């Protein structure tokens, strides 16, 4: 059957067609709304300078400028938070403290320096009043363990040091040592006057009462064995170790103990340093 060109087939679902039109219209409206919303929200982001400060702070993605690293200084030495985080083992004691005053061949004592002194029980030797407590405590601890320590030399006056130094020179001369060399040789065994830790009042020569020789064999006495293990607990260090003579300028003296305070004593001994190295490390940590 031939159909007229104007023929229109009857719509089998006229209601659905209307529904489709409605859906299409709804979609267009929703897309427009969505586009409008997107534009409203994105516009401030693309032009942050023009929006008000409040909305800027809410939408700004720029990171806050990095705050400068926290830093502080302690007695002339500055630390920063980052360096502290990297170097937690950095010594905390200060070079300015009285316990850490360096006295050696190239660091003479302040002229005329005399510490406030107290007399040691028993030996009659004198020591810096601020450190005599730990020294006496250490000696008592040794005695309580059946040991017999003797302090044969502690604080020395300038005159005493001069007499000791001259005495050492005389002995070398008597032994036939070249007079041009005696003074330097003597200085390795007895500090030149004005450069002795004994004049500082913080050094004590401690020996075994049964073996009072200032020789290397002193290290084998039970008293020295005890001191090598426990002296740091009382704030003392073995000041002139065998392997540090090149740095201290003094021969190995397994009887000469120096008070530096408990914290420094432990750090120096644990790190295998001498006082010179420890102080150098404090001034310019590697
Ligand atoms: Zn000494």
Q: In angstroms, rounded to a whole number, what is the distance separating the alpha carbons of residues 50 and 37?
A: 19
The angle that helices 275-283 and 262-270 make with each other, rounded to 10 degrees, is 100
User: Among the residues of the chain, which ranges form H helices?
Assistant: 14-46, 53-59, 81-86, 132-144, 158-174, 179-189, 197-200, 222-230, 245-248, 262-270, 275-283
**Could you tell me if residue 247 is inside a domain?**
yes
* CATH at 208: 3.30.1380.10
**Could you tell me if residue 185 is inside a domain?**
yes
Instruction: Kindly report the pTM of this predicted structure.
Output: 0.66
Q: In angstroms, rounded to a whole number, what is the distance separating the alpha carbons of residues 67 and 119?
A: 55
CB 152 within 8 A of CB 137: no
Q: How far is the CA of 190 from the centre of ligand 1 (A)?
A: 8
The angle that helices 158-174 and 179-189 make with each other, rounded to 10 degrees, is 130
Spot the catalytic one: 253, 262, 276, 280. Answer: 253
User: What tens-digit pLDDT sequence spans the chain (286 residues)?
Assistant: 455 555 555 555 556 566 576 554 665 667 656 666 655 555 444 433 333 333 333 223 333 333 333 333 333 333 333 333 334 344 455 556 999 999 999 999 999 999 999 999 888 999 999 999 999 999 999 999 999 999 999 999 999 999 999 999 999 999 999 999 999 999 888 999 999 999 999 999 999 999 999 999 999 999 999 999 999 999 999 999 999 999 999 999 999 999 999 999 999 999 999 999 999 998 887 6
Other CB atoms within 10 Å distance of the CB of residue 55: 12
Q: How far is the CA of 2 from the centre of ligand 1 (A)?
A: 133
Q: How far is the CA of 45 from the centre of ligand 1 (A)?
A: 76
**Could you tell me if residue 49 is inside a domain?**
no
Identify whether residues 216 and 256 lie together within a single domain: yes
Pairing of strands 117-119, 149-153: unpaired
- Nearest alpha carbon to residue 125 among 150, 163, 149, 154: 154
Identify whether residues 162 and 277 lie together within a single domain: no
Sheet (strand 256-259) strand order? 149-153, 203-208, 256-259, 236-238
The reported pLDDT for the residue numbered 126 is 98
Q: How far is the CA of 260 from the centre of ligand 1 (A)?
A: 15
CB 237 within 8 A of CB 260: yes
Identify whether residues 167 and 184 lie together within a single domain: yes
Token pair in block for residue 114: 């005399």
Q: How far is the CA of 204 from the centre of ligand 1 (A)?
A: 6
Identify whether residues 166 and 114 lie together within a single domain: no
DSSP letters, 196-262, are -HHHHT-EEEEEETTB---SGGGGGSHHHHHHHHHGGGGTEEESS-GGGHHHHSS---TTEEEE--H
Of 195, 218, 243, the position where a domain reaches its end is 195
DSSP symbol at 119: E
- The domain in which residue 270 lies consists of 93-156+199-283
Overall number of domains in the chain: 2
Identify whether residues 249 and 209 lie together within a single domain: yes
Identify whether residues 101 and 214 lie together within a single domain: yes
- 253 a catalytic residue: yes
Task: Spell out a b/e string for 72-81, using b for 16 or more CB atoms within 10 Å of the CB, else e.
Answer: eeeeeeebee
Identify whether residues 210 and 262 lie together within a single domain: yes
């Amino acid at each position: 059957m031939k159909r007229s060109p104007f023929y229109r087939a009857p719509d089998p679902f006229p209601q659905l067609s209307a529904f489709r039109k409605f859906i299409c219209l709804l979609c267009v409206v929703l897309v427009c709304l969505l586009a409008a919303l997107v534009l409203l929200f994105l516009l401030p982001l693309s032009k942050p300078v023009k929006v008000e400060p409040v909305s800027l702070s809410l939408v700004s993605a720029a990171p806050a400028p990095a705050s400068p690293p926290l830093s502080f200084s302690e007695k002339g030495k500055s630390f920063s938070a980052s360096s502290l985080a990297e170097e937690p083992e950095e010594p905390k004691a200060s070079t300015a403290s009285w316990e850490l005053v360096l006295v050696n061949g190239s660091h003479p004592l302040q002229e005329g320096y005399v510490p406030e002194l107290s007399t040691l029980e028993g030996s009659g030797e004198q020591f810096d009043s601020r450190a005599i407590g730990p020294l006496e405590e250490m000696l008592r601890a040794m005695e309580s363990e059946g040991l017999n320590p003797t302090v044969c030399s502690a604080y020395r006056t300038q005159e005493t040091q001069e007499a000791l130094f001259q005495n050492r020179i005389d002995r070398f001369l008597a032994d036939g040592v070249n007079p041009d060399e005696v003074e330097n040789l003597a200085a390795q065994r007895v500090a030149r006057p004005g450069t002795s830790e004994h004049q500082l009042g913080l050094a004590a020569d401690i020996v075994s009462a049964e073996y009072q020789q200032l020789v290397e064999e002193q290290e084998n006495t039970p008293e020295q064995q005890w001191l090598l293990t426990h002296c740091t607990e009382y704030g003392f260090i073995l000041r002139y170790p065998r392997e540090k003579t090149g740095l201290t300028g003094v021969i190995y003296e397994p009887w000469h103990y120096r008070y530096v305070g408990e914290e420094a004593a432990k750090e120096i001994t644990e790190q295998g340093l001498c006082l010179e190295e420890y102080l150098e490390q404090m001034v310019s940590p590697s």
